């Protein structure tokens, strides 16, 4: 069974997440603040971490930064839980290397979809197909501008236009324009086709 660590300072939210995960067969570990969450992560080495952004003492950004510096757990999938309106916090977190984010209150379907997508990606890594999402630069070799490459990087990770706009701090219409250029340059008919091309390039294929 896969182990999921929940770092969340709101007891009701933490209990709700734990219940959803347990019903789906995951082993759920809990931490009520950033410092204890970091300690649990380093000791238990969970398969995935769900972490609130705004917490007293050590916030989610600090937890992620510390984890990414620890060789034994630096590659663990990390999903932020963020309240509505924390767009600046979201961009900062994604720039620090978070794998995804979910807006609270999160539905069971959205939670499980995000978790399963990240765990599936880890399975791909172990099978030798290893897309590297740390930089959009390899995508520029497809004939894309740096900004178009950034947009495609997030498309390859399953993000919608509104989500990409939030992450990059751009207008949604601007993202649509960039994406239309990407489709044209790649000869791709849709997001799925463009995403597959990106995944192959990011995996060095």
pLDDT in tens, 125-141: 655 556 778 889 999 99
* The pLDDT of residue 5: 97
42/26 Cα distance (integer angstroms): 19
Sheet holding 3-7, edge to edge: 27-31, 3-7, 48-52, 78-83, 100-104
CATH topology of domain 137-202: Arc Repressor Mutant, subunit A (1.10.10)
List the structure tokens of 151: 């947009």
Residue 174 has pLDDT above 80, yes or no: yes
Residue 87 has pLDDT above 90, yes or no: no
Domain boundaries, the chain: 3-126, 137-202
What is the overall mean pLDDT for the chain? 87
- Quote the Cα angle for 167-49-85, to 5°: 35
202 touches 129 (CB < 8 A): no
Crossing angle for the helix pair 191-202 and 146-155, to the nearest 10 degrees = 100
List the structure tokens of 31: 């931490």
* The pLDDT of residue 130: 66
Mean pLDDT of 74-100: 77
* The pLDDT of residue 155: 87
pLDDT band at 167 (very low <50, low <70, confident <90, very high): confident
List the structure tokens of 146: 């740096």
* Range scoring the smallest mean pLDDT among 29-38, 114-123, 155-164: 114-123
User: Which superfamily does CATH assign the domain made up of 3-126 to?
Assistant: Response regulator (3.40.50.2300)
Mean pLDDT of 148-164: 87
Q: What is the pLDDT of residues 51-63, one digit of tens each?
A: 998 898 999 999 9
Whole-number Cα distances in Å, 57 to 30, 35, 81: 17, 8, 17
* The pLDDT of residue 43: 94
Q: Quote the strand ranges of 24-149, DSSP E.
A: 27-31, 48-52, 78-83, 100-104
* Range scoring the smallest mean pLDDT among 115-129, 138-152, 191-205: 115-129
151 touches 179 (CB < 8 A): yes
């Amino acid at each position: 069974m896969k182990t999921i660590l929940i770092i969340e300072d709101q007891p009701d939210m933490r209990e709700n997440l734990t219940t959803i995960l347990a019903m789906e067969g995951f082993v759920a570990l809990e931490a009520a603040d950033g410092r204890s969450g970091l300690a649990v992560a380093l000791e238990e080495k969970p398969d995935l971490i769900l972490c609130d952004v705004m917490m007293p003492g050590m916030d989610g950004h600090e937890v992620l930064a510390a984890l990414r510096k620890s060789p034994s757990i630096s590659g663990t999938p990390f999903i932020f839980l963020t309240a509505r309106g924390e767009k600046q916090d979201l961009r900062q977190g994604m720039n620090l290397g978070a794998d995804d984010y979910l807006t609270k209150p999160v539905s069971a379907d959205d939670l499980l979809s995000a978790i399963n997508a990240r765990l599936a990606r880890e399975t791909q890594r172990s099978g030798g197909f290893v897309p590297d999402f740390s930089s959009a630069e390899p995508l520029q070799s497809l004939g894309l501008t740096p900004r178009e490459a950034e947009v495609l990087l997030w498309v390859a990770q399953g993000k919608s236009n509104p989500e990409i706009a939030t992450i990059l701090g751009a207008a949604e219409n601007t993202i649509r324009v960039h994406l239309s250029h990407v489709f044209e340059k790649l000869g791709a008919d849709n997001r799925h086709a463009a995403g597959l091309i990106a995944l192959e390039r990011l995996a060095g294929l």
